[in-house]
Amino acid sequence: MSVLTARMGAVRLRGFGRRHPLVRLVVMRACLGVVTLWLVSVVIFAATQALPGNAAYAVLGHTATPQRLQAVEAELHLNRPVVSQYESWIGGVLRGDFGSSLANGESVAALIGPRVVNSAVLVVVSGVIGTLIAGALGVLAAARRDSWFDHVASVVALGVTALPEFVVAIALVILFSVLVLHALPAVSAIPPGSEPWQNLKELVLPVATLAIVIAPYIFRMARGAMVEAMESDYVEMARLKGLTRRRVLLLHAFPNAIPPVVQVVGLNLLYLAGGIVVVEYVFNYPGVGAALVDAVSNRDIPVIQFVVLVLTAFYVFVNIITDVVALLASPRRRTAG
Amino acid sequence: MRGGWEWLGLLARAARTPRGVAGITLAGVVILLAIVGPFVAPHQPTVSVTATFAPPSSAYPLGADDLGRDVLSRVLAGGWLLLAVAAGSTALGVGAGVLVGIAAAYFGGVTDGVLMRLVDVLLAFPQLVFALLLVSVLGPHVWLILVAVGISHAPQVARVVRAAALDVCERDFVRAVELLGAPARRVMVGEVLPNVLSVVMVELGLRFTYSILIIAGLSFLGFGIQPPAANWGLMINENRIGLVANPWAVVAPVLLIAVLTIGLNTFTDAIARTSLGVERPAEQLAVVAGVSGEAASLGEVVR
Amino acid sequence: MSAADRESVVRDEGVSAVGATPDGGNAAAEPLLAVEGLQVVVRGSGADVVDEVSFTLARGEVLGLVGESGSGKTTVALALMGHTRRGLVIGAGRVLFAGVDLLALGERIRSLRGARIAYVAQDPVSALNPTLKIGTQLREIFRAHGVGQLGGVSVEERIRELLAEVRLDRVSHALEVYPHQLSGGQQQRVMLAMAFACRPELIILDEPTTGLDVTTQRHVLDTVRGLCRSYHVAAVYVSHDLAVVGELADRVGVMYAGRLVELGATGHVFRAPGHPYTRCLLRAIPSPTRAHVLVGLEGQPPRPGARPQGCFFAPRCEFALARCRERMPSAEALEGRHWARCVRAQEVLRLPPLAELPEREPIPPAAGEVPLLEVERLEARYGERVILSGISFGVLPRRCLAVVGESGAGKTTLARCIVGLHSGWRGMIAFKGVALDRDRRRRRRELIRRMQYIFQNPYTSLNPRKTVSQLVEQPLRELFSLSRRERSERVASALEEAALGGEYLSRYPDQLSGGERQRVAIARALVVEPELLICDEVTSALDVSVQAAIVELLHRLQRTRGVALLLITHNLALVRSLADDVLILRDGRVVEHGPGVLDHPQSEYAMQLLANVPTLALA
């Protein structure tokens, strides 16, 4: 391709990008995301495999037996130089081959794959429920600012933000399962092979825990964003134009409160990726979080690598989605350029 | 109360607000208990003294745990290490984060790009998962936990501080000092840093809270402070099965962690409101970065 | 009872004679708006922000409400619609609109807002909702008031009519765009369209031309005047700019510290004011036609809750007597419907007219002087965009060169290139014959200290965490090596030159007013004994009376210290009162340059600029 056509192509591309900020954003973020993921994979690899000394023994620690040592060395190619180890690992990853579990020799992808779906369901359902309820409460609190409802809700939110997931989980278990009521199972016994949505009762407590954990942040942001919108000059102007209170609230204030809330929801979804570790462990829910905990106990490196990779890929993905939604919700940025 | 010691004045003012008082009281009680506890524990925390999950009695006011150890003694002894490691990792994380954040904001351009790429990479790891990653290979050593948790704090702090520092760097007084020929280091330390101090104070409070949560969480999962040492997080997990027999073995450490973190969070909220009450209305704290599109600063509102 | 007498009765606090006409009718003479004893207080503490405000407004009449920041004029304007900002609440008084007390209506006032009483906000950028299209924001006014038809014309047609009236009909798809896609002037015209939509009887305009170019401001003012005339709409025009008010308003009311201190026909008030504060304001306003000495006002107006006994202006008033500090004076009637709240109003009235203030003497240029600063064929860019091209001029020692232009002309870019804050330029900039490096870090200390820069915004140019003494001392620490004693001596003398006493040394910027902060900035520049001061719009963020004091300070520095000034400004009147030479910039090019540009403009652009500047008629 001659220099001229290449330059023309670039100019046309630039013009296209300028006219379609949405497409440009997605493409740029996706490229950045790929770079980030690549660097993340390097970090994961460095943390787990690039070890000095007798790596296999360090990995297995006290569970080392001659057979296991051999298995680890073969699996992780530990006798080869680090860079080539990385190459073979990342090559496998890109092909979909995540190696075999050191614990039972099965393919990691086959073993943990289904769990990804389970965890995804947990995250999405908790995210949606938590966001809807907390968001609505936040808007309500802002509309009834300084009322008793507002004060109580804000104080409760402040308290709950400080609690770790395992405390919330245990508290729920105490309340609904063990000591006070006996309505819900303390452990999510989802039989292997069945889908989570076929066992709704098992989902209630884990979802409730996660939803409660993220709710206060979304509540505070929704309230804050609505308050700021309602104190803005354009809402004052709307009132002075004689518009009804409802129209001012819903059509003028609310759309301007969406972008910051979207950002916060995104951040909370990312937080959930880490939160499911503890919650799945407590409820014995068959997801990637519980798998990770087991893998760490067993020093099952390939599983650890797989799960962390999945979680970080989730981060990149959610980041892109959040940016896109925030862009869509803001006409100023949508039409700029 | 101004100049170099202004942050102290800010803390004092925050401590006088109703939220500040509530926060300090709650957190203070627990911290005091954790520090003094090991010295006043009636029994040896690691010695089995009675039946497993024995209910509370006059000799053992909170009963016994899964190995027959006195719950009260374990509770008293189980806090100080948690707090110490949390404090250390907070200092490490906030220190590194402030450095990176101010440098990225001030120098901008390539420096900013590179630093923020690195920050982004680290942010992809949920904090607990990052700690697990390192612990899985090297083992649950206390120093490792401190460093791992500290490193996982740094990118979040960096983003928040960067957003605040960007705002400061745009203001004319920074230009005015640059025009005098002052070197970059002097400008960053003398002009930018004092003006992001209130943000840093809030971050210190928040990160300390999160450190406690993560380290307790790690201990809960068994990868933190190892048994047989007493540790609140660990105790909650160890005694889950005996929840019906002796709930105190679980409830006591749960209460302590909850009260501590709620107290710290409330006090941090008081600091945030006090400092912003000076410059901007308090509600803007929750929205200030969100509206500008910088998800980073939302770290103040979210983990 | 004649209309004039009735009005004088209404003036006295709390008495209402509106609606009661002894001759049993003559509704046409009834004022459209009658405000009686309006009071707005801070919620909680009860401190009054505005009080004892009473005036009337006839149909089709324009009342100007002037005052500086903190005078309460915006609070009054909003209260006329029954609205207060957060934290404030209406304490007492009545606002009678066509005989109905608006403040007693409660929720029902909604039907009046936007329909019979409309509001035009100060800043269209923030008053228009960024997430709604212009069309939506226009149409919803009609929907809210259940207007399906207006005088036999459908809503859509009415909207098209409106757009034509505000001269937005040429803008393609004006209804389909979002606010940020329009320019500042266009946004303000949308606000005007929204205000006149339902053919209101009263319009309240809150500083609608702030931040607009002279040319755009002229368009907006002409539009407002035209619409008011054709619809016979009464208007309350709030502003700090007396010249603008002078052109538009039939009557003018002056506010100080929350009180209406003077009210009367515009001509009367401006030519022969009755209140000392009004007189001070008028003396502080620079005129674009003659260079007279500006007289500023020291001190600040008292804040709500800190207002003294007696007349609020007494502490700053040159005519104050002992009894002024005992009781707030009541309205002194002057001729016609003109009154002022001053016990010595009659005397003030008879003082020599302001048109006869002494003129400034121009400084003749010394022959054969070598320019202090020379700029040759300067071309400046931001990335790809060319901001300045072909700029050449010189600044002579001890002279003041004003660089004038509208926004976007490139004035600030020019200043930044000279001082080293922007390095994207080509050409030559030389100081005392030495060419200046693009990279300010490579410039010699000696040169840096001789050329000092003063920023526009005094609220962001001082580090809030440093004391005044630390701020003024800083340049000495960076550019010299002096002992501590020498430094404090120099700091003290610089502060003195900027008319700040020793008590300022330990204060922090947030304890200072805008004028005081700007003086600190000036002292900071003076402490290194510069030969050239570059002042970038240094008075734009300040009130008129404060501005006058700063301008006089700069002038005095020029005369006594022999400092040359490079003044960047958009305010032509200011240029007249301070500059020896004038350079007019437009779209990055020099349009005209020389000492006599204001008196004998050669270019059409300069002539238009001068014609568009609102001028206060003092004679």
Query: How confident is the model at residue C350, as a pLDDT?
Result: 85
In the stretch 2-41 of chain A, residues with CB closer than 8 A to chain B read 32, 35-37, 39-40
Q: Between these two residues, A112 and A77, which has the higher pLDDT value?
A: A112
| C34, C180, C215, C508 from C229: Cα distances, Å | 21, 30, 21, 50
Which residues, at least 6 apart from A147, have a Cβ–Cβ distance to it below 8 Å? none
Task: Using the predicted structure, report yes or no on whether residue C489 has a pLDDT greater than 80.
Answer: yes
**Residue C477 contacts residue C483 (beta carbons within 8 Å):** no
Tokens of C399: 């002279």
Task: Using the predicted structure, report yes or no on whether residue C26 has a pLDDT greater than 60.
Answer: no
A-chain residues near B121 (CB < 8 A): 36, 39-40, 43
Q: Where are the domains of chain B?
A: 3-302
The mean per-residue pLDDT over the stretch A281-304 comes to 87
Q: Between these two residues, C210 and C582, which has the higher pLDDT value?
A: C582
User: Is the Cβ pair A242, C144 closer than 8 Å?
Assistant: yes
Q: Where are the alpha helices (DSSP H) in C562-613?
A: 572-578, 604-612
The mean per-residue pLDDT over the stretch A203-216 comes to 90
Q: Which CATH superfamily is domain B3-302 in?
A: MetI-like (1.10.3720.10)
B-chain residues near A227 (CB < 8 A): 283, 287
Among the ranges given (A12-21, A251-260, C471-480), the one the predictor scored with the smallest mean pLDDT = A12-21
Q: Name the closest residue on chain B to residue C458, using Cα atoms.
A: B172
C-chain residues near A332 (CB < 8 A): 130, 178, 180
DSSP one-letter code for A54: S
Query: How confident is the model at residue A337, as a pLDDT?
Result: 41
Query: How confident is the model at residue A15, as a pLDDT?
Result: 64
Q: Which of C421, C460, C508 lies at the smallest CB-CB distance from B173?
A: C460
Mean pLDDT across chain B, nearest whole number? 83
Choose from C418, C446, C465 for mutation: most chain B CBs within 10 A.
C465
Q: Which of C420, C421, C461 lies at the smallest CB-CB distance from B173?
A: C461
Q: Between these two residues, C310 and B295, which has the higher pLDDT value?
A: C310
Of A292, A146, A275, give the one whose Cα is nearest residue A215.
A275
Strand, coil or helix: C507 = coil
Query: How confident is the model at residue C254, as a pLDDT?
Result: 95
Among the ranges given (A74-78, A149-153, B115-119, C362-366), the one the predictor scored with the smallest mean pLDDT = A74-78
A159 part of contact set with chain B, CB < 8 Å: yes
Task: Using the predicted structure, report yes or no on whether residue C1 has a pLDDT greater than 80.
Answer: no
Query: How confident is the model at residue C184, as a pLDDT?
Result: 82
Task: Using the predicted structure, report yes or no on whether residue C616 has a pLDDT greater than 80.
Answer: no
Range among B237-241, C2-6, C28-32 rated most confident:
B237-241
Mean pLDDT across chain C, nearest whole number? 86
Query: How confident is the model at residue A61, as a pLDDT?
Result: 62
Q: Name the band, by pLDDT with cuts 50, 70 and 90, for residue C150.
A: low
Query: How confident is the model at residue C11, as a pLDDT?
Result: 40
pLDDT tens per residue, range A169-209 = 888 887 877 666 666 666 766 666 666 666 677 788 889 99
Could you give the domains of chain C? Answer: 3-16+31-349 (3.40.50.300), 373-466+510-612 (3.40.50.300)
The mean per-residue pLDDT over the stretch C178-185 comes to 87
Task: Using the predicted structure, report yes or no on whether residue C35 has a pLDDT greater than 60.
Answer: yes
Task: Using the predicted structure, report yes or no on whether residue C357 has a pLDDT greater than 80.
Answer: no
Task: Using the predicted structure, report yes or no on whether residue A78 has a pLDDT greater than 70.
Answer: no
Query: What is the reported pTM?
Result: 0.83
A173 part of contact set with chain B, CB < 8 Å: yes
Among the ranges given (A226-235, C357-366, C439-448), the one the predictor scored with the smallest mean pLDDT = C357-366
Query: How confident is the model at residue A55, as a pLDDT?
Result: 55
Query: How confident is the model at residue C5, as a pLDDT?
Result: 43
In this complex, which chains have at least 3 CB pairs below 8 Å with chain A? B, C
pLDDT tens per residue, range C524-546 = 999 999 999 999 988 888 888 88
C478 part of contact set with chain B, CB < 8 Å: yes
Place of tokens 């989730």: A314
Q: Name the band, by pLDDT with cuts 50, 70 and 90, for residue A75.
A: low
DSSP one-letter code for B190: I
Of C561, A129, C24, C464, give the one whose Cα is nearest residue B2.
C464
B-chain residues near C536 (CB < 8 A): none
| A77, A125, C268, C335 from C339: Cα distances, Å | 97, 71, 10, 8
Tokens of C409: 């002309």
Q: Are strands C581-586 and C434-435 parallel, antiparallel or unpaired?
A: unpaired
Query: How confident is the model at residue B281, as a pLDDT?
Result: 32
Q: Between these two residues, A108 and C455, which has the higher pLDDT value?
A: C455
**Residue A263 contacts residue B298 (beta carbons within 8 Å):** yes
Helix (H) / strand (E) containing C373: strand C373-382
**Residue B259 contacts residue B29 (beta carbons within 8 Å):** yes
Q: Name the band, by pLDDT with cuts 50, 70 and 90, for residue A51.
A: low
Query: How confident is the model at residue A201, as a pLDDT?
Result: 73
Mean pLDDT across chain A, nearest whole number? 81
**Residue C124 contacts residue C191 (beta carbons within 8 Å):** yes
The three state secondary structure string of C292-345 is ECCCCCCCCCCCCCCCCCCCCCHHHCCCCCHHHHCCCCCCEECCCCCEECCCCH
The mean per-residue pLDDT over the stretch B268-287 comes to 59
Bridge partners of residue C431, in order along the sequence: C373, C434
Range among A47-56, A215-224, B71-80 rated most confident:
A215-224
Percent of chain A with pLDDT over 70: 78
User: Is the Cβ pair B172, C467 closer than 8 Å?
Assistant: no
Task: Using the predicted structure, report yes or no on whether residue C8 has a pLDDT greater than 50.
Answer: no
Q: Between these two residues, A91 and C77, which has the higher pLDDT value?
A: C77
The mean per-residue pLDDT over the stretch B32-43 comes to 89
**Residue A71 contacts residue A273 (beta carbons within 8 Å):** no
Choose from A161, A173, A258 for mutation: most chain B CBs within 10 A.
A161
Radius of gyration over alpha carbons of chain B, in Å? 22
Query: How confident is the model at residue A194, as a pLDDT?
Result: 62
Bridge partners of residue C256, in order along the sequence: C259
Q: Where are the alpha helices (DSSP H) in C498-583?
A: 514-526, 544-556, 572-578
Q: Name the band, by pLDDT with cuts 50, 70 and 90, for residue C27.
A: very low
**Residue A222 contacts residue A134 (beta carbons within 8 Å):** yes
**Residue C565 contacts residue C535 (beta carbons within 8 Å):** yes
pLDDT tens per residue, range C42-63 = 988 888 899 999 999 998 899 9
The mean per-residue pLDDT over the stretch B261-279 comes to 81
Query: How confident is the model at residue B243, as a pLDDT?
Result: 79
Query: How confident is the model at residue C347, as a pLDDT?
Result: 86
Q: Name the band, by pLDDT with cuts 50, 70 and 90, for residue B289.
A: very low
User: Is the Cβ pair A241, C113 closer than 8 Å?
Assistant: yes
Among the ranges given (A16-30, A152-166, C121-135), the one the predictor scored with the smallest mean pLDDT = A16-30
Task: Provide the phi-psi class of C82: left if phi over 0, else alpha when psi is between -120 and 50, else beta.
Answer: left
Q: Which of C462, C479, C508 lies at the smallest CB-CB distance from B181?
A: C479
User: Is the Cβ pair B125, A162 closer than 8 Å?
Assistant: no
B-chain residues near A261 (CB < 8 A): 290
Query: How confident is the model at residue C298, as a pLDDT?
Result: 80
A250 part of contact set with chain C, CB < 8 Å: no
Query: How confident is the model at residue B279, as a pLDDT?
Result: 40
d(CA A253, CA C378): 48
Query: How confident is the model at residue C285, as a pLDDT?
Result: 86
Query: How confident is the model at residue A114, as a pLDDT?
Result: 85
| A27, A187, A206 from A201: Cα distances, Å | 41, 10, 10
Percent of chain C with pLDDT over 70: 93
Q: Name the band, by pLDDT with cuts 50, 70 and 90, for residue C410.
A: confident
The mean per-residue pLDDT over the stretch C101-123 comes to 90
DSSP one-letter code for C61: -
